[in-house]
Structure 1
Amino acid sequence: MSRSETLGVAVIGAGRMGADHVRRVDRVTSGARVTAVVDVDGERAEAVAARVDGCTAHTDPAAALAAADVDAVLVASPGPAHEAALLAALERDLPVLCEKPLTPDAASALRVLDAEQRLGHRRIQVGFMRRYDAEYTRLKALLDTGQLGRPLMLHNRHRNVAGPPFFTSSMLITDSVAHEVDATRWLLGHEIRAVTVLRPTPSAHAPDTLQDPQFVVLETDGGALSDVEIFVNCGFGYQVQAEVVCERGTARIGDGHALVTHTAGRWGGTIAQDWTERFADAYDREVQAWVDAARRGEVTGPGAWDGYAASAVCEAGVRALEEGGRVEVELVEKPALYR
């Protein structure tokens, strides 16, 4: 595709995330347009597609991907549907931006890896948008200079006002801690080799069946430890914070002190209430980077290997949550395509 051509994007999934991506590609991103929207709920697909001139609605992903005006695919459907959509896109050699998870488990993620390797080149980017957040990218750049010395520990906090009603205890790991799993791998440049999940007394504000909060400890092959406080019913705001402790200093992000007021004998600021507010710019940067790379025939962001590694770590984390104790992460040897 030449730089002058517009990338026609099919968005699979018309829920909150998918609809937001349709808006983003249509109104924010340059060099792309939404040509198809897919959802199992035909009325929802039609409602979202109607917001974009010339966009068609589908209930069958295969029909959308076969359309002549579809050059790329953005997958924002529920995780269990990702494998089929990814394999269909790879069969047509279409570039894909897939929201996390790549797939819900390591076995299905490996099937996707195998299909991409048979293709012979990378086509999949996984939606770990924190790699595009301004604070995270500054932290990564600082760590890469080496001026703070080796990273020894990474402390993460991930809090939501209230979790969705369908959330289960294991989803705190697979749907939330998955972000910290990727952030740990990316920031430190290490693979995660073991997971331990500690279970504090559940909050009275969490549903009776939900283990919330949880405290997750990740051991890396570089000798560093990364811990994650995941608390999806904290009640007061959405917070994502990280502090790296290195040999010669520390670095911290996520305090959200962009605006502090002093008035009436008090000082303070505001706390974001959900991820769409906190990471809006990161999503914009992520999608634009994906579109720019796809138009060049490249993949530059986190790929299928990163998605597979995160799925394997989360799978071990769910075992650690359910069985107790320390669970080792089993990864296949990294294929040459992803080195």
Structure 2
Amino acid sequence: MTLSVGVIGLGVMGAEHLRLLREETGGARVVAVCDADADRAQALAQGAQVFSDPMALIAAQGVGAVVIASPDATHAGLALACIAAGKPALCEKPLAATAAEALRIVDAEVAGGRRLLQIGYMRRFDPAYAEMLAVRQAGGIGAPVLLHNIHRNAAAPDWFTGPMAVTNSFVHEIDISRWLLGSELASAIVHAAPGGDPLMVTMETDKGEIVSTEVFMNAHYGYHVHAQMVGREGTVEMAAPAVTLANRARQHGHGFPANWVPRFADAYRIQMRAWVNAVATDQPVGASAWDGYVATAVAEQVVTALQTGAKAQLFLGSRPALYT
């Protein structure tokens, strides 16, 4: 059976999701698209029905599932509409602009008694992170004690504000650290370099593990994500994100991409295939709405710690049984 998908938002990520559905994902067909730019929607439609209203796309009878890749501020309303319509959705992060808003989405999904949302924390599908998790779960490095993360961008967009380094970038480390360690984050303290960039965020988990994360929005040389897990009996870390090494101009090594899309190309492809299969089998995978809420809630509290300089004791509330 082929899944009929509607895609909302056709910017950088929406266009990539559209391509993946059409070119690299079996069992799915794009039947509808929607974007605030009508010309862009028409140009990318390729026979799919074009909607100007995302709510109308969600309500359309011919649309069986939805990819939400519209601007961040629209995610919550569209996610709630998908839940109300009983339609599965792959929603780009963040789930919502605030923790309170994200919790309302969790409550709506719990009330329906079925997980319909998968949040686009694609690193869970990245082969390097997946292998690190497998090593940890197999006991290959003993009990974890430290997790070191690096998150560097070549340059921050003009529309980035100080807190967005946390709410738009560091949220990935919030989610992947929980996933890699199988722990919940309990406290956080933030140190900012002069000018506010880079940040060093140090968190402790409910098991006593320490998670250090450098968030550098203007590192200039390229997009660079790295992680190393330190256990009582060894370490595991990512190798260079390249399949070849070049010798040129008296240098040996590999290049760095300009942004996250090339680095996580495999993760996005695997994520899309996994989501389509999950919808077909009604076996949810990936980050849940609860995980989306946790990432937003922790980010909010880390922003407070950044602004006050104080150590934040993180509060999340009780995880509903739907997500256990």
Task: Name the TM-score, length of structure 2 as normaliser.
Answer: 0.96
Q: Which residue of 2 aligns with 1:128?
A: 121
Structure 2 residue corresponding to 1:182, chosen from 175, 180, 183: 175
Residue 269 in structure 1 maps to residue 262 in structure 2: no
Q: Which residue of 1 aligns with 2:7?
A: 11
The question of whether the paired residues in 1 share the 8 Å contact of 2:109 and 2:116 is answered with yes
Distance in 2, Cα, partners of 1:263 & 1:11: 42
Report the alpha carbon displacement of residue 272 of structure 1 after superposing the two structures with TM: 2.1
For residues 45-56 of structure 1, the aligned pairs below 5 Å read 45-49=41-45, 52-53=46-47, 55-56=48-49
Q: Which residue of 2 aligns with 1:97?
A: 90
Uncovered stretches (5+) of structure 1, i.e. residues with no partner? 203-210
Structure 1 residue corresponding to 2:40, chosen from 44, 65, 74: 44
Distance in 1, Cα, partners of 2:72 & 2:268: 18
The question of whether the paired residues in 2 share the 8 Å contact of 1:242 and 1:254 is answered with no
Q: Which residue of 2 aligns with 1:322?
A: 307
For 1:49-70, what per-residue CA distance to the aligned partner results, in whole angstroms no more than 9, with x for missing partners?
2xx22x1121212211122220
User: Quick one: which amino acid aligns to residue 284 of structure 2?
Assistant: V
Report the alpha carbon displacement of residue 295 of structure 1 after superposing the two structures with TM: 1.1
User: Quick one: which amino acid aligns to residue 232 of structure 1?
Assistant: M
Q: Which residue of 1 aligns with 2:189?
A: 196
- The DSSP-based 3-state class of the residue aligned with 2:262 is helix
Q: Which residue of 2 aligns with 1:298?
A: 283
The question of whether the paired residues in 2 share the 8 Å contact of 1:240 and 1:254 is answered with no
Uncovered stretches (5+) of structure 2, i.e. residues with no partner? none
Report the alpha carbon displacement of residue 296 of structure 1 after superposing the two structures with TM: 1.4
Q: Which residue of 2 aligns with 1:67?
A: 60
For 1:220-279, what per-residue CA distance to the aligned partner results, in whole angstroms no more than 9, with x for missing partners?
111111111111111111110000111111111153353223456432222222111100
CA RMSD of aligned residues (A): 1.4
User: Quick one: which amino acid aligns to residue 85 of structure 1?
Assistant: L
Distance in 1, Cα, partners of 2:249 & 2:142: 44
For residues 216-231 of structure 1, the aligned pairs below 5 Å read 216-231=201-216
Residue 285 in structure 1 maps to residue 270 in structure 2: yes
- The DSSP-based 3-state class of the residue aligned with 1:69 is coil
Could you list the structure 1 runs, at least 4 aligned residues long, displaced by more than 4 angstroms after superposition.
none
- The DSSP-based 3-state class of the residue aligned with 1:167 is coil
Distance in 1, Cα, partners of 2:243 & 2:189: 34
The question of whether the paired residues in 2 share the 8 Å contact of 1:113 and 1:304 is answered with yes
Report the alpha carbon displacement of residue 43 of structure 1 after superposing the two structures with TM: 2.9
What is the percent sequence identity of the aligned residues? 43
Distance in 1, Cα, partners of 2:250 & 2:34: 53
Q: Which residue of 2 aligns with 1:205?
A: none
User: Quick one: which amino acid aligns to residue 17 of structure 1?
Assistant: M
Report the alpha carbon displacement of residue 212 of structure 1 after superposing the two structures with TM: 1.6
Distance in 2, Cα, partners of 1:149 & 1:69: 50
Report the alpha carbon displacement of residue 31 of structure 1 after superposing the two structures with TM: 0.6
Structure 2 residue corresponding to 1:244, chosen from 229, 233, 236: 229
- The DSSP-based 3-state class of the residue aligned with 1:331 is coil
- The DSSP-based 3-state class of the residue aligned with 2:159 is coil
Change (3 A) 1:120 1:270: same
Structure 2 residue corresponding to 1:57, chosen from 50, 53, 64: 50
User: Quick one: which amino acid aligns to residue 127 of structure 1?
Assistant: G
For residues 20-35 of structure 1, the aligned pairs below 5 Å read 20-35=16-31
For 1:104-129, what per-residue CA distance to the aligned partner results, in whole angstroms no more than 9, with x for missing partners?
21101110000001111111111111
Q: Which residue of 1 aligns with 2:79?
A: 86
The question of whether the paired residues in 1 share the 8 Å contact of 2:34 and 2:53 is answered with yes
Distance in 2, Cα, partners of 1:254 & 1:322: 35
The question of whether the paired residues in 1 share the 8 Å contact of 2:186 and 2:204 is answered with yes
Q: Which residue of 2 aligns with 1:206?
A: none
For 1:287-312, what per-residue CA distance to the aligned partner results, in whole angstroms no more than 9, with x for missing partners?
00000110112312211111111111
- The DSSP-based 3-state class of the residue aligned with 2:142 is coil
User: Quick one: which amino acid aligns to residue 186 of structure 2?
Assistant: R
The question of whether the paired residues in 2 share the 8 Å contact of 1:239 and 1:254 is answered with no
- The DSSP-based 3-state class of the residue aligned with 1:158 is strand
Distance in 2, Cα, partners of 1:104 & 1:144: 33
Report the alpha carbon displacement of residue 36 of structure 1 after superposing the two structures with TM: 1.2
For 1:78-137, what per-residue CA distance to the aligned partner results, in whole angstroms no more than 9, with x for missing partners?
221111101110111111111111112110111000000111111111111111111110
Q: Which residue of 2 aligns with 1:109?
A: 102
Distance in 1, Cα, partners of 2:115 & 2:148: 32
The question of whether the paired residues in 1 share the 8 Å contact of 2:241 and 2:263 is answered with no
